[in-house]
Amino acid sequence: MGTYAVTGAASGMGAASAAVLAEAGHTVIGVDLRDTEIIADLGTPEGRASAVEGILEASEGALDGVAAVAGVGPDMKDPAAVMSIDYFGPVALLEGLRPALARSESGRAVAVGSNSATTVPFIDQTLVDLALAGEEEAARGRAVQGQEEVPDKVRAFAPSIGAYATSKFALARWVRRTAITPRWGREGVLLNAIAPGAVLTPLMLGSTGTAPDPDSFNTPMPLGEFGRPEEIAFWVHQFLRPEARFTTGSVLYVDGGTDAALRPEDLPTAMTP
């Protein structure tokens, strides 16, 4: 049995992921703002450092896997905080824990993003570039500025939608870029991402207030139903299994077909000469 760290473990997809791993017999180190083994705020550099330190102490410096699930939604009123929590939080945590994962013979890491990265038309490329360059303070300022460019009627129900979608886009790109570098791939640490769609979690309900009708939702729901946290947890578990040895740099959409419905011709896209 292995030792796994799960952020956002107090509720939603993080709690479901922690439960699946524990039921499989693994030791789970939960991280969240409450009700977990490690209490830390991943929205701040100090909180991230504290989380990494606590995980390393609890695991005695060796980890089999990390699931970076913690995040906030587009209903949060502070776009800067969304950027810090949803992008800089998981990146710092995963980077900080990479050496511990490398000590395992089958280190695995998975970051939970969102299909909003490809289904929301408010991606700010300048903000993406700042995030990938590690410029957190500049990114926080740009997140606030960029949200002002989102139409008022959208900001009314999703005050941080631009920062949210952009943070998830940047996270997916970071995973793709990072997974194939020697310090990850050649050291046996596999890194992938999951892009959930509309899943009935406290985060989603915080954005919508109540569970809406799937057929009147603001994005297509081809299956006619919303996802459940345990359905995301299933794929988190699969990516963290030692047997998942030939998959890295992947972004798996677990969204009931929403991305495919909105962009059926975008993937696969042939490489041009």
Radius of gyration of the chain (CA): 18
CB neighbours (10 Å) of residue 70? 28
Whether residue 268 is contained in a domain is answered as: no
* Tokens coding 163: 């920062």
pLDDT of residue 214: 86
Give the CATH number for residue 185: 3.40.50.720
Active site residue 164: yes
pLDDT of residue 216: 85
Give the pLDDT means over successive 10-residue stretches in the chain (273 positions): 97 98 98 97 98 98 97 96 98 98 95 97 97 98 93 90 98 98 97 96 68 85 95 98 97 97 94 89
Whether residue 266 is contained in a domain is answered as: no
Q: Which of 4, 87, 164, 253 is catalytic?
A: 164
Whether residue 39 is contained in a domain is answered as: yes
Please state, in angstroms and rounded to a whole number, the distance separating the CA atoms of residues 52 and 264. Answer: 40
pLDDT of residue 108: 98
Number of domains present in the structure of the chain? 1
Evaluated on CA atoms 117, 133, 145, 76, the torsion sign reads: positive
pLDDT of residue 209: 59
Whether residue 264 is contained in a domain is answered as: no
Whether residue 263 is contained in a domain is answered as: no
Whether residue 272 is contained in a domain is answered as: no
Whether residue 270 is contained in a domain is answered as: no
Global confidence as pTM: 0.95
Whether residue 146 is contained in a domain is answered as: yes
Residue type (1 letter), 98:
R
Element at 176 (helix H, strand E): helix 161-179
Q: Which domain holds residue 227?
A: 3-254
